[in-house]
Each structure stands twice: as C-alpha cells, then as structure tokens.
Amino acid sequence: MRLLLVEDESELARVLRQALEEEGFRVDWAADGEEGLFKAGEVGYDAILLDLMLPGLDGFEVLSRLREPGGRPVPVLVLTARDGVPDRVRGLDLGADDYLVKPFDLDEMLARVRALIRRSADRPSPRLSVGDVTIDTVARTVHKGEAPVDLTAKEYALLEYLALHAGEVVTRTRIYEHIYGEEEDTFSNVVNVYVANLRRKLGADVIETRRGHGYLIRA
C-alpha cells in the first residue's frame, strides 16, 4: 500500500515515515500543502496522512481541494495539534475520514491507517480470504489452509493489494503505483516475477492473468 504523508515538521515526518515503512507501507513525503496537493493529483494513493498546520496552503485548503468534484476518492487521516472541537468538526465536514490529535501513539496511527484502507476497499475485516488462502492484514501473515506461507515484503504487498480489490482486474500500472514508493527503481517485468512466485507458493489458480489488461483475484 502506498501512502502520502503531508507534514512540515521534518523530524516528525521522519519518525512517522519510518514507522509506516516498517509496517510495509510505501511512503511519499510532502513538506507543504502545495507539494502535497500536487503529489496527490499525480498518484492514486491508498491513503493520505495530512497535517493541518502547513506553510502556504494549509491542511484545510488541501482537504477542500482534494474533495472537489472529480477528485480521487482517497481516504484522508488528519494528524494535527489543533484539538479544538471546531477544528475537528471543520476537518470532518470538509471530507476527512478520521482525525488524530498530536501527540498520538504510533500503534494507534497504524491501526487507523489500516482500517481506513480496508473500509475504502469495502473490506472491513482485517482477515482476507482467497479460496483456502487467508491473509491477516494486521499481523501481515499468510496461511494456505493451516500452513503458514513465507512471503517477501513485495510478494505480500502484491497479494494484499489484489485481495483488497478482489473481483477487479488490476493493471500493472496500478500495481506499480501502489506498491512502490517514489524513490524506488523497478524493472519492467518485476510484477510478472512476483505473480509467478505467488502462484508457486500459493497455487497456480490464486491469481488470474487477463492478457493486455492485468491481474485478477476472484471475489
């Protein structure tokens, strides 16, 4: 899953980014509202973590523009030191999906991000099932029947993304966009390699190829 963190405090951004990346998220960072709004328009993020007190374009304005008609329906978690009820009400009314007041616990932040992503994909349960394969999105573990399956971080990210969008044909472009950060280099057939690895570990029929379109896990 790929996230955008919009936060002007560089040290806090570093800590949050590290915590998120240790949980397997790919994280892009924007240090101000204008940069955040630009990146949000360029990439289909799975969620945005948005500070309100930003230089230049503040978080309220960023949120308002994100929710303009025709905008991408990305879930937004507001992270802010502004804990007054009017600020919370304004943020939620402008389209924030959740609100977390600084200082906050990192585990709670991670749980809220995971929940937002599941809800946006209409998969509220933390456990996803694909035939006899079970994915625990909190523990980030995979079982085939009762047996645990060892996956690399990228293999897990690909499987989780396809499972969250079960029933959809997902293009290679979307896969690149959601499981790779802006600082990562990839090679052209990397998705094919990971799909082949998942089929070898989980069964040949777990992921379908739709030639010329992408990949599918059946709902």
User: What span, in angstroms and rounded, lies between the C-alpha atoms of 154 and 82?
Assistant: 36
**In this predicted model, what pLDDT tens digit does every residue of 189-205 receive, in sequence order?**
788 888 999 999 999 99
Entry pTM: 0.81
Q: What is the pLDDT of residue 177?
A: 79
Beta pairing class for 133-136 and 127-130: antiparallel
Q: What single string gives the DSSP state of each residue in 51-70?
A: ESS-SSS-HHHHHHHHTSTT
What are the φ and ψ backbone dihedral angles of 43, each rounded to 5 degrees?
-125, 140
Q: What is the pLDDT of residue 72?
A: 76
Q: Residue 47, SS3?
A: strand
**In this predicted model, what pLDDT tens digit does every residue of 96-122 receive, in sequence order?**
999 999 889 999 999 999 999 988 888
Q: What sign results for the dihedral spanned by CA atoms 61, 41, 182, 26? A: positive
Q: Residue 72, SS3?
A: coil
Q: What sign results for the dihedral spanned by CA atoms 67, 71, 73, 78? A: negative
Out of 40-44, 47-51, 203-207, the most confident range is 47-51
Instruction: Examine the pLDDT at 82 and tell me if it is beyond 90.
Output: no
